[in-house]
Amino acid sequence: MTHTMVATFFKGLAASGAWCCFDEFNRINIEVLSVIAQYLLTLFEAKAKGDPEILFQGSKIKMKPTFCVFITMNPGYAGRTELPDNLKALFRGVAMMVPDYALIGEIMLYSFGFLQGMPLSKKMVTTFKLSSEQLSTQDHYDYGMRAVRSVINAAGLLKNDYPDMDEQQLLLRALRDVNVPKFLKDDLPLFENIILDLFPGVERPKQEYHGLIESIEKQCTIQNIQAHEKFKMKIIQLYDTIQVRHGMMLVGPTGGGKTKNY
């Protein structure tokens, strides 16, 4: 966003007396943020004085007292900037608390028809907690609410397909389907150990892919690619990920087989 775009935004908001909420506000470039601070200072001062009309960025605009600006931001994330102090001073902070993932997971599992929502959600949250502590730190690893949602959505789809299967097995498979494709090879044995500790004696469910494997092998022959077990496994992992994610990225070294997989 450029400062001219933001100025146009503010003109309309002030004149209509509307509220606006800028989500992920600190993704805006630091240069633009400084200019926004000046704009807001002008507008908030005029609002405080009760001016009916003001001159703002070369236009005479009406100033309605109901006009207000709210911002939300995630501090300390990649691609985010710190807010300049002159901008911070214009906003009042609101305290937030970390959501109870186990409770959210429990309710969502119940909504998908699971009977053991409470113990299963606790196991799922513990899996993510232990993974974040024991596995290596990578930019694409995520153990937050998005990861929890993906696992629950995967478990819900499986519950739909196999309503009579043991619920622990369903969650175990969902955890594997969603997480295994993104872990680096050194982290996989650690993740497997975490899962074995949390789901002792739970047999890994057999996965049915019907005609998919035959089609993969057929395509490999047509495209003159070796149908190696690990390569086929990666294609199936991509397929599993597509079932539960809206957008994704294939990452890996040059010549690692990303394009052929896709």
pLDDT at residue 129, as a whole number:
92
Q: 131 burial class (0-12, 13-18, 19+ CB within 10 angstroms)?
A: buried
pLDDT at residue 191, as a whole number:
92
Mean pLDDT of the chain: 88
Indicate the Cα dihedral angle 194, 198, 204, 209, nearest 10°.
-70
pLDDT at residue 204, as a whole number:
76
pLDDT at residue 26, as a whole number:
80
Q: Is residue 251 helix, strand or coil?
A: coil
Read off the pTM: 0.67
Model pLDDT for residues 148-192, shown as the tens digit of each residue: 998 999 899 889 988 888 999 999 989 988 888 889 889 999 999
pLDDT at residue 97, as a whole number:
83
pLDDT at residue 28, as a whole number:
81
Model pLDDT for residues 66-92, shown as the tens digit of each residue: 999 998 887 766 666 777 888 888 888
Residue 95 has pLDDT above 90, yes or no: no
Q: 239 burial class (0-12, 13-18, 19+ CB within 10 angstroms)?
A: middle
**Hey, what domains does the chain have and what are their CATH numbers?**
3-88 (3.40.50.300), 101-198 (1.10.8.710), 212-261 (no CATH)
Residue 123 has pLDDT above 90, yes or no: yes
Residue 114 has pLDDT above 90, yes or no: yes
* pLDDT band at 99; cut points 50, 70, 90: confident
pLDDT at residue 209, as a whole number:
80
Residue 254 has pLDDT above 90, yes or no: yes
Per-position b or e across 144-174, b if 16+ CB within 10 A of its CB: eeebbbbbbbbbbbbbeeeeeeebbbbbbbb
